[in-house]
Structure 1
Amino acid sequence: MTKAKSIAVVGLGSMGFGMAQSALRAGHATWGFDVAPDRVEKLIGEGGKSGSIPSVAPGLDIAAIVVLNAHQTKAVLFGDTGIVQHMTPGSCVVSCATVPPDFAREMAAKCTARGVLYLDAPISGGAAKAADGLLKIMASGPPAAFEAAQAALDAMAETVFDLGAEPGCGSAMKAVNQLLAGVHIAAMAEAITFGKSQGIEPGRTLDVISKCAGTSWMFENRAPHIVAGDYSPRSSVNIWPKDLGIVLDIAKAARFSAPITAVALQQFVAATGMGLGGEDDAAVAKVYARNAGLTLPGEA
């Protein structure tokens, strides 16, 4: 049995909160930090702890950083109230946001300079799998970082992909995943609304295509949201301009053409322009529906 560790989760959004729950369930002392006090209070209600970064960080074994982007990650790690300056040598940062590989390498170097281990560890799976400890984690970093983070990885993930000793490799693989995920969501939305233009109701398209070669995980996961007319955000539209933007930035630096990604990105940008940024990412279907004069389930 893994020895109980002291773990902090910084960022208690839909993914981070579930990860903190998983750490608690595994028997670890778990601290939560978030800009929204109600999220911290909710975790305390489930057995978590709270406190100030300066008082808590020196006793931490692991700090999982589950914020939105590179800017927030850097602020959490090295800002005015950054956590790394208070962590003890040999403790480990597990960085989970989708960020460019070069940024992950920069953060790893800064952590190493302070004697703190860094695991580049972007996550995949969604809020439900986070809460069940069944995430997929695409991790890279030195063996010592994997060893130091093992308790958190065991608690939070079903599968940990070891992508080598070089930080940045995990983030590169996450970019590949996000390319496919974003494109597949946009393709799902296009297919559902294309079917609607031909008189095929979304529910019928879901029933048939989910059993045919054209299906995908994103189709089977997101199309039911459209069928139900329920756009409560499990994963919001706002995520995709950021993540697909990162993919295209990496591609540009590599002089790699990614035209399908660019087209998918524009659909998500259009969705944010329609005021749909806070809705479930399946709401990108509304862009297609609006342009074609179609009405989706749940709309008047």
Structure 2
Amino acid sequence: MPAEITTPTTAVLGLGAMGLPMADRLAGAFPVQAFDVFEERRALAVRGGATPAATPADAVRGADVVVIAVRDQEQLESCLFGGGAVEHGAAESLRDGAVVVVTSTVGVDAVQDVAARLAAQGVSLVDAPVSGGAVRAGTGDLLIMAGADEAALDAARPVLSRLGSTLHIVGPRVGDGQIMKTVNQLLCGIHTAAAAESLALARALGIDLDRAVDVLGQGAAASFMLADRGPRMAQQYEVTDDGTGGPELRSRLDIIRKDMNIVVSLAKKAGVATSVAAAADQLYQLAISQGLAAEDDSALVTLLSPRTTG
């Protein structure tokens, strides 16, 4: 049974938009070993105080708590059990009694399957998807939605407390966190799509977008996604012929589409009609078909009101 360790040796697997600031945040308090398939991402983690590892197996050797921040189910499985670009998965080296914290949105079935496979070797899993974005990840201000048994949560609590200002224990089961995050993403996906539509309309009618974001943010139409994505949507129209002038890539469009696919699939299983979410999902799919998959998700606004270059 895992026990709480005040200063746990921690591994972070996945150093993308969320994983890197989380690694930096954790390295300010605990020994951190970090892995990513890209060497340049590992080098950035070193700047933040982490020790780099060439494989997930190397990163988790001796770790008490392992934080996983990957894109999807496929990356989660390869990170733990090998495959694809990963030769030695973390499961090779996880010690008996270690706790794995999955912060990614991968769906209920995926996290439950992984938890069962890890339990067979004496490793517990905390289902703890996060919300708040990269900036809040770096300052320890994330919202964490956790599902796990009490012993696993206690062991992971120092790490969770370092990463999040708000920790909600959604339920005692692995998968409860994924359920809550899916509900969260339903709103996030709809709000982002709605923000894109409203700003595309404002632009078409001749309203300055920075002013529109400011005005909308002070009334009943305000939302976190409008406040966060709105300024970047305005910047999408500043892109020039050489590709400069647009917003920094902070949240890929194919990630939010992946999350919306989970929303629609889970709602279908539950027998709940989510027609607005389904419409937003189709809008993201259309954007991907137009070559925007790797763009910041604020680029959705350009699908509705194309940007001009010059």
Q: Is TM > 0.5 for Structure 1 vs Structure 2? A: yes
Gaps of 5+ in 1: none
1:241-282 residue CA offsets vs partner (Å, 9 max, x unmatched) = 211011111112122221111111121122222222222211
1:127-159 residue CA offsets vs partner (Å, 9 max, x unmatched) = 111111111111110111101111211221111
Instruction: Give 1:55 deviation, angstroms.
Output: 4.3
Is the counterpart of residue 76 in structure 1 residue 79 in structure 2? yes
Distance 1:167 1:45, change over 3 A: same
Contact 1:276 1:283 (C-alpha < 8 Å) held by counterparts: yes
Q: Distance in 1 between matches of 2:47 and 2:223?
A: 38
Pick the aligned partner of 1:97 from 104, 119, 142: 104
Q: Distance in 2 between matches of 1:63 and 1:189?
A: 37
Which residue does the alignment assign to 2:66?
Answer: 63
1:29-86 residue CA offsets vs partner (Å, 9 max, x unmatched) = 1011001001112212332112344444341101111010011111212236221232
Is the counterpart of residue 114 in structure 1 residue 121 in structure 2? yes
Which residue does the alignment assign to 2:292?
Answer: 276
Pick the aligned partner of 1:252 from 258, 268, 271: 268
- AA aligned to 1:11 is G
Pick the aligned partner of 1:127 from 134, 137, 158: 134
TM alignment of 1:1-300, pairs within 5 A: 3-26=6-29, 28-51=30-53, 52-79=55-82, 81-229=88-236, 230-290=246-306, 295=307, 299-300=309-310
Normalising to structure 1: TM-score of the pair?
Answer: 0.92
Q: Distance in 2 between matches of 1:215 and 1:159?
A: 21
Aligned length: 292
- AA aligned to 2:7 is A
Contact 2:195 2:230 (C-alpha < 8 Å) held by counterparts: yes
Q: Distance in 1 between matches of 2:52 and 2:214?
A: 46
CA RMSD of superposed structures (Å): 1.6
Gaps of 5+ in 2: 237-245
Contact 1:271 1:286 (C-alpha < 8 Å) held by counterparts: no
Instruction: Give 1:100 deviation, angstroms.
Output: 1.4
Contact 1:85 1:114 (C-alpha < 8 Å) held by counterparts: no
Q: Distance in 2 between matches of 1:98 and 1:207?
A: 31
Q: Distance in 2 between matches of 1:121 and 1:149?
A: 10
Q: Distance in 2 between matches of 1:213 and 1:256?
A: 27
- AA aligned to 1:221 is D
Q: Distance in 2 between matches of 1:38 and 1:263?
A: 38
Distance 1:56 1:266, change over 3 A: closer
Distance 1:88 1:264, change over 3 A: same
Normalising to structure 2: TM-score of the pair?
Answer: 0.89
Q: Distance in 2 between matches of 1:56 and 1:49?
A: 9
Distance 1:278 1:39, change over 3 A: same
Which residue does the alignment assign to 2:243?
Answer: none
Contact 1:123 1:138 (C-alpha < 8 Å) held by counterparts: yes
1:98-153 residue CA offsets vs partner (Å, 9 max, x unmatched) = 01112222221211121101000111111111111111111110111101111211
Instruction: Give 1:4 deviation, angstroms.
Output: 2.0
**TM superposition outliers: structure 1 runs of 4+ over 6 Å:** none
Contact 1:84 1:116 (C-alpha < 8 Å) held by counterparts: no
Distance 1:183 1:241, change over 3 A: same
1:200-232 residue CA offsets vs partner (Å, 9 max, x unmatched) = 221232122111111211111111112233332
- AA aligned to 2:62 is G
Contact 1:237 1:277 (C-alpha < 8 Å) held by counterparts: yes
Contact 1:178 1:243 (C-alpha < 8 Å) held by counterparts: yes
Secondary structure of 2:11's partner?
strand
Contact 1:9 1:32 (C-alpha < 8 Å) held by counterparts: yes
